[in-house]
Amino acid sequence: MKILFSARDALWPEYKPALEAEFARLNLSVELTRDTSDPGSIDYIIYAPARDDDDLSVYKNVRLIQSLWAGPDKLLKNPTLTQPLARMVEPGMTQTMTEFVLGQVLYHHLHTQDFVTMPKDDWRWDWGPPLANTRTVGFLGAGALGTACAAVVHQVGFITIGWSRGPKPDAPMQVFHGAEGLKSVLEQSDILVLLLPNTTATENVLNAETLALAKPGVAIVNAGRGEAIDDAALLAALDSGQVRSATLDVFRQEPLPANDPYRSHPRVLVTPHVAAETQAATACVFAAENIARDARGETPLHLVDRSLNY
């Protein structure tokens, strides 16, 4: 079979040997290529688009596009995409996300931002951090990443709850759903972590109305999608104190413009979309095994449901 690796040039030297090793381990004879001159000969694509205007319609015989990204929403905006698409779910990405989320939860739990902005000659302090087991961390998004992050945060001692599109009776924490469920999570949470996909149902899920329902002084960590937050509403809530502080890793426009209000806000920590980077070593294992599943006639894992956008 012929597999096209379509991603940034800088990734090829790292991914090529790792993918070849994984396909050899699976006893699959493959030709791994970057040559796009004969698109009809390509059976599979391992994909992280380096440009926005890729014409995928020419790959008429492709059985599966295996994304190197966890979120499919940007790929689904390509009108030429008609092939089955599988998103990336791999332990390296999960590990980096859990480390990021735990770090930011502790950052806000310990009011680290207060010390960052404290006057340099100020030593008096009338506040000490409460115990983790007295504070609730709410996860908006209770999928694979959300539940993995919640488990790690819970191990530290925090109370964890979640909110998702529908009921999740088998989740390892209490998961609410629907409008009333969102209200419950907002009212209970001292820290809110957003790990939502970008869909019509999740766009602006945090807006002026829902932020007003939140526990006063809530802290927010957004490591999912920038579209989940109404930026003007969040800035107003930060200014009023309804939201005490925020870590924002994702934005509607990336890179975030230098003059964006978030960059200068004293209660906001901006990070440049670094919460969960795909790890080549573990991603290659998943990509090769998922392609092998399809080659055996089995259903690939983590196929994207286009009606849900994830």
Which residue in 133, 139, 57 sits closest to 97, CA to CA? 139
For the beta sheet containing 136-140, the strands, ordered from the edge strand earlier in sequence to the opposite edge, are 174-177, 159-164, 136-140, 191-194, 218-222, 243-248, 268-270
The H-or-E segment that residue 295 falls in is helix 280-295
**At how many degrees (to 10) do helices 91-109 and 144-156 cross?**
50
The residues, any chain, with a CB within 8 Å of residue 269's CB and separated by 6 or more, are 104, 107, 113, 245, 246, 247, 248
Backbone angles phi, psi at 164, to 5 degrees: -140, 175
Q: Which of 154, 165, 273, 293 is catalytic?
A: 273
Answer yes or no: are the C-beta atoms of 161 and 175 closer than 8 Å. Answer: yes
The answer to whether residue 273 is catalytic is: yes
The H-or-E segment that residue 212 falls in is helix 208-213
Q: Which of 87, 225, 244, 302 is catalytic?
A: 225
Which DSSP symbol is given to 149?
H
Between CA 81 and CA 84 the distance in angstroms is: 8
What residues are labeled active site? Answer: 225, 273
